[in-house]
Structure 1
């Protein structure tokens, strides 16, 4: 029995870690109120402004009020969390598991690379979700899921702006690559459904390879415009697509002219901005000429 009494407490509040956790989860206002109440009680007792019992009662009253404020704050946070989870069933089902796993990684492996990576990945996840909340999907440069998928889902109109500036990998390498071929197949399927496609090529030199690509797309039914480099402001030289005026795609480019990031968006500001960019280029582009062919 004596050994049990001498044994240090290892419960949630019996260890420094448990006490630290209690302080971390207590509202700062309540902590300040408790500290102020204790200070007031001691001051009243030492100065003789109140008897010992009165000082004690004043301190206990202040602590009670502080703990009540803390309880109300906790209840408000719990209500807020329940409100946030009052959504799709999969959200309420998976969120506790996600938070629990991140917390376990951070606490059980504190001070290790595991905890550091857990925090970093959680921050990355938070940033991605914030983008989703704004109506945007951000993907790697080699992930074309949204570009192809949105073209397949298009019903009425597709607007496209393509830069074919000379670069290390060749100015038309994208169209010859796997992504470009699959994108063109999705374009052909859209044309067969009756979708109107208008595409502008911004080019530095109208060579045979680009002329052949333009002719191929025009013969397939795409309305193609040509825009020489320098005809518009450099900030308009972007790669974009706009579907039915409700969704858009923009490619973020590297210094070598290769796609580093794909951004799909249904955010109204993004759609309007890219539509405006396309219209400004269309006002200057040449949709006729000897290479126009049948439309």
Structure 2
């Protein structure tokens, strides 16, 4: 029993210490500085006999009161800000507190372990992705094609695209032969049947039989296809892109081997305008069979 009482006492001391640490962590830094200065001022006035003991105590208490008032105002402002942020879609309101609680538990209950470190890493990754979403961008791996194909299937009037066909380790036209390329072309055919106007420009280093066959295939399907030899435009314009109805865009970020390492879909007006300028420059320099 004595051992249990000692264990409970130690646990209580640890709980009190943890509570104090948590209190300090959640107190506004300005308030902490104010409380510290108030206590220091009270002790200084008392030791230097510049004021009586009662006056020193009152001065310290006044400073602490003002500091706590500042802390209270800061807390109220944060609560108001949180309520404003949570005034959104129901799924956001429902899950935000659960997410924050889970991350806090992972960091506190498993502090110093790989679990806590991984929780911080995943939360940081989530924060970065959320910031991109707030800017109107979706960034996915190179093998994820739902945005490219999905936007083509919902396109209403116009699809403009720029495709670079350059010698690379994976082969010049390997993407069009891949599963993603085939699904994308099927979505193109569906768009053409809906009356969507498709304009595609191929930038190429050499005209091969395979490229000629691909161009004729797309022209026969109803797409307006242009050819642009390498070197006519600046290398900075050699971008694989797609634009849908002038309101959304897709851009492929390439690896050193000429393969798609990352897909970026965007409705950000700056991104759409930038890729529109790139397409227009290449389209104006390309040769079409109109």
Q: 1:260 matched to which residue of 2?
A: 261
Determine whether 1:120 maps to 2:128: no
Q: Cα deviation per residue 1:267-287 (whole Å; 9 max; x = unaligned)?
A: 000000001000000111010
Does the aligned pair in 2 maintain the 1:12–1:19 contact within 8 Å? no
Q: 1:146 matched to which residue of 2?
A: 147
Q: 1:196 matched to which residue of 2?
A: 197
SS in structure 1 of the partner of residue 56 of structure 2: helix
State the Cα distance separating 1:12 from its structure 2 match.
Answer: 8.2
State the Cα distance separating 1:135 from its structure 2 match.
Answer: 0.3
Q: 2:12 matched to which residue of 1?
A: 10
Q: How does 1:179-190 map to 2 (within 5 A)?
A: 179-190=180-191
SS in structure 1 of the partner of residue 226 of structure 2: strand
CA distance in 2, matches of 1:19, 1:244: 58
Determine whether 1:167 maps to 2:191: no
CA distance in 1, matches of 2:169, 2:32: 62
Q: TM-score w.r.t. structure 1 length?
A: 0.94
State the Cα distance separating 1:68 from its structure 2 match.
Answer: 1.1
Task: Please state which structure has a larger fraction of its residues in helix.
Answer: 2
SS in structure 2 of the partner of residue 111 of structure 1: coil
Q: 1:292 matched to which residue of 2?
A: none
Q: 1:177 matched to which residue of 2?
A: 178
Q: How does 1:199-218 map to 2 (within 5 A)?
A: 199-218=200-219
CA distance in 1, matches of 2:227, 2:170: 22
CA distance in 2, matches of 1:284, 1:118: 51
Determine whether 1:19 maps to 2:20: yes
Does the aligned pair in 2 maintain the 1:139–1:261 contact within 8 Å? yes
Q: 2:84 matched to which residue of 1?
A: 83
SS in structure 2 of the partner of residue 283 of structure 1: helix
SS in structure 1 of the partner of residue 246 of structure 2: coil
Q: After superposing the two structures, state which structure 1 stretch, 19-28 or 147-156, moved more.
A: 19-28
Q: Give the superposed CA RMSD.
A: 1.6
Determine whether 1:225 maps to 2:226: yes
- Structure 2 unmatched runs, 5+: none
Q: 1:286 matched to which residue of 2?
A: 287
State the Cα distance separating 1:10 from its structure 2 match.
Answer: 2.1
Q: Cα deviation per residue 1:28-68 (whole Å; 9 max; x = unaligned)?
A: 11111101111111111111111111111111111111111
SS in structure 2 of the partner of residue 206 of structure 1: coil
SS in structure 1 of the partner of residue 198 of structure 2: strand
Does the aligned pair in 2 maintain the 1:11–1:18 contact within 8 Å? no
State the Cα distance separating 1:18 from its structure 2 match.
Answer: 2.1
SS in structure 2 of the partner of residue 249 of structure 1: strand
- Structure 1 unmatched runs, 5+: 289-294
Determine whether 1:275 maps to 2:282: no
Matched length:
287
Does the aligned pair in 2 maintain the 1:13–1:22 contact within 8 Å? no
SS in structure 1 of the partner of residue 140 of structure 2: strand
